[in-house]
Amino acid sequence: MYALPSPSRTELLAELTAQATALSQIPNIEQLSVVHPPLEPLALPFSASLTALALFGWHLGGKTAPTALDSTLLSCDCCGRRLGLWSFTASPGRSLDVRAEHRAFCAYLATDVEGRPAWQARLQTASGKRQAGEENAQVRKLRRSEVLGKVRGMLGE
């Protein structure tokens, strides 16, 4: 299965910024109702909707010609899903779910060995949060020193 690349934080922030900037050019994009998981602590200078769309790999789609982008379509390069924006903006109450709109096999939804979906790994990288593995190691180290402290206390050291 196709796996997403693991960019550095700088690379990923550049990618998200470029993608969100392109999306922000879509007419009436801010009227689109976007459903997404919490994005904290990621804070980009874009609306949460644009940030979520970029994080989940949705970009301006329909590359009908190298220079002409169809600004009525969003697409995902991983699963090939295309979304017609009109179908959301034309139906009041219809929201675009950045996660659920991917096809089930999409690499953005695929989980790593720790059961973490790829989009979440991107969120953690982009927000500068430590990788889950490193955090667990920190927690283990902390617990060990706490235990040692208690043992020392009991021994009256």
- Residue number with CB closer to Zn ion (74 or 106): 106
Q: Is 17 exposed, middle or buried (0-12, 13-18, 19+ CB in 10 A)?
A: middle
- Residue number with CB closer to Zn ion (2 or 86): 2
- Phi-psi region at 115: left, alpha or beta (left = phi > 0; alpha = psi -120 to 50): left
- Residue number with CB closer to Zn ion (20 or 76): 76
Contact 44, 51 (CB under 8 A): yes
Least distance to Zn ion, CB of residue 56, Å: 8
Return residues touching Zn ion (CB under 5 A): 76, 78-79, 102, 106
Residue 132: half-sphere exposure toward Cβ, Cα within 13 Å:
11
Least distance to Zn ion, CB of residue 97, Å: 12
Least distance to Zn ion, CB of residue 105, Å: 9
